[in-house]
Amino acid sequence: MIKKEEVISFTWQHILLLASLYVMTFGVAACVRSQLGSSVISTIPYVLASAGTMLDYIPGWTIGGYTIMMNAIFVVLQILILRRNFEWVQLFQLAIGFFFGMLIDLNMVLTQWMVSENILV
């Protein structure tokens, strides 16, 4: 039988997870909008999204879209490397990666006003 404390603990952990994901994605969006660069994990999606607006042969996806794709590639590589030692519960990384990418796109929209003209701003 599931105890009330376990349900509360599980719920609280996931609320904190979602809140922390939002804070992290806001940080990614703020770094990109302030033109100070991007975080380490968002560098490749940022470069691909920027190149997609300038080059015809690169898809014009968003930073969040490329983040989702990159996370999916990482999970596939993890499966290939670990093979039989891969635990199937790790596929939840895909859901978290999808949510992370969507939150990046949401925060990019919410931070449109942050675009700076010069270093003082």
Residue at 121 is within a domain:
no
Residue at 74 is within a domain:
yes
Q: Are 19 and 100 in contact (CB under 8 A)?
A: no
Q: What is the pTM of this model?
A: 0.85
Answer whether residue 24 shows pLDDT above 70. Answer: yes
Residue at 119 is within a domain:
no
Structural domains counted in the chain: 1
Residue at 120 is within a domain:
no
Structural domain of 37: 4-114
Q: Are 38 and 31 in contact (CB under 8 A)?
A: yes
Give the whole-angstrom CA distance, residue 80 versus residue 63.
26
- Render pLDDT for 26-57 as a digit per residue (tens, 0 to 9): 999 998 888 887 778 888 999 999 898 888 88
